[in-house]
Amino acid sequence: MMERIERVAIVGAGYMGTGIAQRLAAAGVTVTVTDATPELAEAGRDRALRDVARDVEAGLLPAGTTEAVAANLSAAPTLEEAARDADFIEEVVPEVLEIKHDVLARISAAARPEAIIGSNTSTIPVHRMAGAVEGPQRFLVVHWSNPAHLVPGVELVVGEHTDHALLAAVKEMLARADWVGAVVGDAPGFVLNRLQYALVREALLLVDEGHATAADVDTVLRTTLGFRMPFIPPIAMLDMAGLDVYEKCFGLLQDELGERFSAPEVLTEAVADGRHGMKNGRGLFRDYPPETLEEINAWRAKAYTGMSRLLADLGPMPGTQTPGTQTPDDTHEESHA
């Protein structure tokens, strides 16, 4: 099994592919991009270089990054040429099953047997693609988020045949470029989209049911849940706010809104077992020694204050009054319809 990934091939030098390629190349990885034609591959490389130069100009990347990317990033005229010497090959072609199958079959025929093969699919399960790969034990989904060169999180979706031993090499490669890999199962929506679609669905239902304007739903999300989430994401928040409190609230919501708001068994069992969160030192999946509570509170104060400062410095999203929302007037009329 591959110990360390030194050479990467990116198949599909479109929007996501060039984002992935540029950050890997900036981190010192040797990267080759390829596309449906040699011209498209060259155009992808040129676009990546232009994007990096623009970000250096804007002070977002250190001086010298453009030169590093120019040295480490090349374009190959064919998929076969790009895949032949690579340790890791990622397909980033359009989200069409037939194209994925065709490209994955060609990659696995051209790649060395020990090379790791990844797919950037957002929605296609591993088990619907693995059949196209010769040696499905070396195949997984490595799902970058948009924009790949800026968002740190990457889902690593393992299928039933995926050899878990390859995860260490993929995670280490990601870490070199300051991405963070999280291993998730081959279930619909993986983790990111299942969470995201649940949240968006409720947000739109709230607007549809006339409970709040679109702008106010976004404002609530941005200034409460979203504000806290980079520091204390939902499962950690359960421990902080109290598992018993959450269990009660689930009950109230379930009475009014139905089964989709019933408390998950993992929560009710933990509460029955005396796990109430940080306040009694017993969280859902971990314990908290009493001396850490004060440190956690101090860290949280620093985090939230820093977040407020960043938002104030940054100002609203251009063209809007507040970050990430429509202008308040956009939807005012339908507010209480």
The dihedral formed by the CA atoms of 24, 142, 229 and 314, expressed in degrees to the nearest 10: 30
Q: How far apart are CA 151 and CA 155, in angstroms?
A: 12
What residue has token string 């340790």?
87
CB of 21 to ligand NAD, least distance (A): 11
Task: Indicate the residue among 29 and 129 with the shorter CB distance to ligand NAD.
Answer: 129
Least distance (Å) between residue 331 CB and ligand NAD: 26
DSSP 157-206: E--SS--GGGHHHHHHHHHHTT-EEEEE-S-TTTTHHHHHHHHHHHHHHH
Show the tokens assigned to 53. Answer: 């130069």
**In the structure encoding, which two tokens stand for residue 252, read together?**
């109230």
Q: Closer to ligand NAD by CB, 12 or 277: give it.
A: 12
Cis peptide before 328 (omega within 30 of 0): no
Query: Can you say whether residue 208 is alpha, beta or left, with left for phi > 0 and alpha for psi between -120 and 50 degrees?
Result: alpha
Residue 187 C-beta: closest distance to ligand NAD, Å: 17
Cβ–Cβ < 8 Å for 135, 104:
no
Going through the chain in order, the beta strands assigned E by DSSP cover: 7-11, 30-34, 73-75, 88-91, 116-119, 139-144, 153-157, 180-184
Nearest approach, Cβ of residue 291 and ligand NAD (Å):
42
Residues that bind ligand NAD (CB under 6 A): 11-17, 35-36, 40, 79, 92-95, 99, 103, 120-122, 145-146
167: left (phi over 0), alpha (psi -120 to 50) or beta: alpha
Residue closer to ligand NAD, measured from CB, 196 or 224: 196
Q: Smallest distance from the beta carbon of 191 to ligand NAD, in angstroms? A: 14
Question: At 271, which amino acid appears?
Answer: V
Q: Min. distance of Cβ 293 from ligand NAD in angstroms?
A: 38
> Least distance in Å: CB of 44 to ligand NAD?
6
Q: Smaller CB distance to ligand NAD: residue 48 or 271?
A: 48
Taking the complex as a whole, the smallest distance from the CB of residue 77 to ligand NAD amounts, in Å, to 11
Calculate the alpha carbon distances from 201 to 55, 132, 163, 195, 256 in Å.
34, 34, 35, 10, 17
